[in-house]
Amino acid sequence: MELETFKITVLPLREKLFNISRRMMEDRSDAEDIVQETFLKLWQIREKLDSYNSVEALAIQVAKNLALDKLKQHRPEGTDITQLSLDSGSRNPAEELEQQDTVARIRWLIGKLPSLQQTIIRMKDVEGYELAEIAEITGTQVEAVRVNLSRARKKIREQLVKEL
């Protein structure tokens, strides 16, 4: 895609991208940064843009992903899935080891889920996002988030029970 075509196709999306980013971010300047980063990413792949059915849909998805990445950076420490633990008070070393194995298994099972379910379960159960926040970030309805979260939890629960 040439510069002129890029200007005609992509730059008019600025307001729409800003509004989407602004709804997701608390800070107006963060939303501006996301729009700029979106334009940069699209410019970097400008030769491939003609192969997409909708450059607008691509731009929106890129902006949402960048906003999600920025939100993850702003989350309080200690919410990383690698730090997940199931603390039940005092345990002996054998119980501690068993607990660590269970956490590792849960992490592995989450990694086997479909991409959207992985994202939703991590955002809700690990990072502490509310359902409405997840719906806005992922661009889905709250009910769809609830259903995907339920399915993800059920699948993990079934796999854990199978192993017992």
Q: What is the pLDDT of residues 143-156, one digit of tens each?
A: 999 999 999 999 99
Q: At what angle do helices 14-24 and 131-138 cross, to 10 degrees?
A: 160
pTM value is 0.47
pLDDT at site 17: 92
Q: Which two tokens stand for residue 90?
A: 């005092």
- Residue from 8, 15, 59 nearest 37 by CA: 59
Q: Which two tokens stand for residue 12?
A: 């008019």
The mean of the pLDDT values for the chain is: 83
Write the secondary structure of 85-101 as one string of H (helix), E (strand) and C (coil): CCCCCCCCHHHHHHHHH
Average pLDDT over residues 92-102: 81
Q: Which amino acid is at 5?
A: T
pLDDT at site 78: 47
How many angstroms separate the Cα of 28 from the Cα of each of 4, 21, 34, 85, 88? 29, 9, 10, 35, 41
- Residue from 149, 135, 124 nearest 24 by CA: 135
Cα dihedral: 65, 66, 69, 75 (round 10):
-110
pLDDT at site 75: 57
Q: What is the pLDDT of residues 115-139, one digit of tens each?
A: 888 888 888 887 788 888 888 877 7
Q: Which two tokens stand for residue 40?
A: 């940069």
| 106 in Cβ contact with 84 (< 8 Å) | yes
Could you count the other beta carbons within 10 Å of the beta carbon of residue 88? 8
Q: Which domains does the chain have, with CATH numbers?
A: 3-74 (1.10.1740), 81-163 (1.10.10.10)
